[in-house]
Amino acid sequence: MASQKFFSIVLYAFVFAAFATTALSSLSPNYYDYSCPKALSTIKSVVAAAVQKEYRMGASLLRLHFHDCFVNGCDGSILLDPSPTIDSEKNALPNFQSARGFEVVDAIKEAVDEACGKPVVSCADILAVAARDSVVALGGPTWEVKLGRRDSTTASREAANANIPAPFFSLSELIDNFKSHGLNEKDLVILSGGHTIGNARCATFRDHIYNDSNISPHFAKELKHICPRKGGDLNLAPLDRTAAKFDSAYFGDLVHKKGVLHSDQELFNGGSTDSLVKSYSHNTKAFHKDFAKSMIKMGNIKPLIGNRGEIRLNCRKVN
């Protein structure tokens, strides 16, 4: 009888430990339900106000999440400012003078910490939810964001330069890059569809409009008014014809050789991704549905969970 009771206690302890380990080692959409039930609604309200004030901010928050996840997983490392111990990813070539939205993240963090009564929501989770809410605010799909990421205590400009897809990449380079992050060709096309909102700097598309042949001559001429051969590096052009709306116009533009970036037009240039681009160009509903799935997949790239990392008090610096 005593041995049976002892066995029951041991079994209970084992099951409890296994449950606790599982809870600490996985993401969950309900992660903050008890520690801060107002977290998600607070993030949504701050993002909605920011996007209403300036639609480009929605694209900026989405891009920050992309660039964060593509470096060393979705760990908030892109938010860290330079310091004696931090080689900030903000200074990497894909981000320098391009990455925006940091002030909005700061505002979200302040509002969420106030709503929670203490810092319990990570900056990485804030960025993941803000990206989703930005897409929704601009007419795109919603999806269930799994939460529980912790914040990185390091950053790497070198890793950002090496891992964030460049605007001059060929299709094969894009495919290899996405594959290295556990994403396939379909994810590549779908997530590139995030370019249906926002703008690109002249410096990122100058070579495409002056040197490439796979671009509509009339469209290239329009862009040359924005982007001269010399100077004007920071001049902006919309990434598709409805850059303030999360629709499938981006894909239609590619079909008509009106991709702003070289890497965009590579998705419809006689290669393996042409059929997907053409399909999404006339099926916004399918694009929205698949975009949500790929965003969930991307958001789960190597998150810091359990006791790794930290919950930053300030998204710009380690504790």
Nearest to 144 by CA among 293, 22, 301, 248: 293
**What is the pTM for the complete model shown?**
0.89
Does residue 150 share a domain with residue 207? no
Kindly state whether residue 246 falls inside one of the protein's structural domains. yes
Last residue of a domain, one of 137, 165, 193: 165
Kindly state whether residue 19 falls inside one of the protein's structural domains. no
Q: CB neighbours (10 Å) of residue 191?
A: 22
Does residue 201 share a domain with residue 115? no
Does residue 202 share a domain with residue 241? yes
Q: Which residue is associated with the tokens 């569809």?
A: 193
Kindly state whether residue 28 falls inside one of the protein's structural domains. no
| Phi, psi values for residue 161, rounded to 5° | -60, -35
Exposure of 288 by Cβ count < 10 A (0-12 exposed, 13-18 middle, 19+ buried)?
buried
Kindly state whether residue 7 falls inside one of the protein's structural domains. no
Annotated binding site for substrate: 165
Exposure of 270 by Cβ count < 10 A (0-12 exposed, 13-18 middle, 19+ buried)?
exposed
Residue-level pLDDT at 26: 81
Does residue 207 share a domain with residue 123? no
Contact 189, 277 (CB under 8 A): yes
Q: Which residue is associated with the tokens 């991704």?
A: 273
Kindly state whether residue 176 falls inside one of the protein's structural domains. yes
Kindly state whether residue 261 falls inside one of the protein's structural domains. yes
Active site residues: 67
Residue-level pLDDT at 20: 38
Please list the pLDDT of the chain residue by residue as tens digits (319 residues).
555 544 444 444 444 444 333 344 589 999 999 999 999 999 999 999 999 999 889 999 999 999 999 999 999 999 999 999 999 999 999 998 888 999 999 999 999 999 999 999 999 999 999 999 999 999 999 999 999 999 999 999 999 999 999 999 999 999 999 999 999 999 999 999 999 999 999 999 999 999 999 999 999 999 999 999 999 999 999 999 999 999 999 999 999 999 999 999 999 999 999 999 999 999 999 999 999 999 999 999 999 999 999 999 999 999 9
CATH number at residue 85: 1.10.520.10
Annotated binding site: 68, 71, 73, 75, 77, 89, 165, 195-196, 240, 247
Contact 155, 84 (CB under 8 A): no
Q: What angle, rounded to 10 degrees, do the helices at 123-137 and 102-116 form?
A: 110
Domain count, the chain: 2
Domain range holding 99? 39-165
Does residue 178 share a domain with residue 139? no
Look at residue 107 and give its three-state secondary structure.
helix
What is the chain's alpha carbon radius of gyration, rounded to the nearest angstrom? 21
| Phi, psi values for residue 232, rounded to 5° | 70, 25
Contact 128, 149 (CB under 8 A): yes
Structure tokens at 58: 């929605």
Last residue of a domain, one of 136, 165, 194: 165
Does residue 188 share a domain with residue 261? yes
CATH number at residue 186: 1.10.420.10
Residue-level pLDDT at 97: 82
Q: CB neighbours (10 Å) of residue 236?
A: 15
Residue-level pLDDT at 277: 98
Annotated binding site for Ca(2+): 68, 71, 73, 75, 77, 89, 196, 240, 247
Does residue 214 share a domain with residue 175? yes
